[in-house]
Amino acid sequence: MPCDYKNIKKSTPTKASGFSAALTFLSGLSLGLLVAVLVFFYGNDLADRFALQRPVSKQVNEHAIIDSKADEKNTRFIPEPTFEFYNILPNREVDVSDWVTKTPATGNNKAPDEEGNYILQVGSFKQNKAADQVKARLALLGFQAYIVSGVINGEGTFRVRIGPYKNLSKLREARERLLANDLDFIQMRL
């Protein structure tokens, strides 16, 4: 016999109340936190109580394995090197007196005698604003200056430079104008 499926009432599923869903979530969360706290504070004691074996990592000397595989007939014992800080450091003394550079007493504002590329560094500043002020002052004096940024001891620095000068007469003229306007500079050869 045929059945009329059109007029059959469908049963609607009942929704679980929000309270029971929140209660389920909170109970699972609290149970997980309880287990985590117990493992954190009593992890080693629990492992000992239940006689659980924890795996111990083995240190393998790869060089000894390679040597034993390569030459099985002529086996020899190679001792592992022992590195101790207090034994190594005294044996590694380095004379740094050769590395220390000595600055001349007059500085490097001496006029150059050799041809080459020279630049003049007028200042080195921690703030870009101060470097821009010196660059503007140099522009008023007729110099085309530029700023080079860098890092010294983890701090940013901004160096104001002019040049390069290939002609010694132009370099001397620039040096005289800087000295006449009471601007300190460092001369560097490229």
Instruction: Estimate to the nearest angstrom the gap between the alpha carbon of 178 and the chain centroid.
Output: 39
Give the residue extent of every domain in the chain.
118-189
| First-to-final CA distance of the chain | 105
131 Cβ contact partners less than 8 Å away, ≥ 6 residues apart: 123, 125, 147, 158, 159, 160
| pTM for the model | 0.43
Q: Is 112:189 a contact under the CB 8 Å cutoff?
A: yes
Q: What are phi and psi of 145, to 5 degrees?
A: -100, 160
Q: Are 118 and 87 contacting, i.e. CB atoms less than 8 angstroms apart? A: no
Least Cα distance to 162 among 145, 178, 150 occurs for 145
Strands (E), the chain: 118-125, 145-152, 155-165, 186-189
What gap in Å lies between CA 40 and CA 47, rounded to an integer? 12
Return the closest-CA partner of residue 64 out of 81, 52, 88: 81
Residues 6+ apart with CB under 8 A from 142: 177
Q: What is the pLDDT of residue 105?
A: 42
CA–CA distance, 157 with 125 (Å, rounded to integer): 5
119, 123, 126, 132 alpha-carbon torsion, rounded to 10°: -90
Domain 118-189 listed as CATH 3.30.70.1070: yes
Q: Summarize pLDDT for 69-96 with one digit per residue, the tens.
A: 555 556 666 677 666 666 666 666 656 6
| Per-residue pLDDT tens listing for the chain (190 residues) | 577 777 777 666 666 567 788 899 999 999 999 988 888 888 777 667 766 655 555 555 555 555 555 555 566 666 776 666 666 666 666 566 655 555 444 445 566 667 778 899 999 999 999 999 999 999 999 999 999 998 888 888 999 999 888 888 888 899 999 999 888 888 888 7
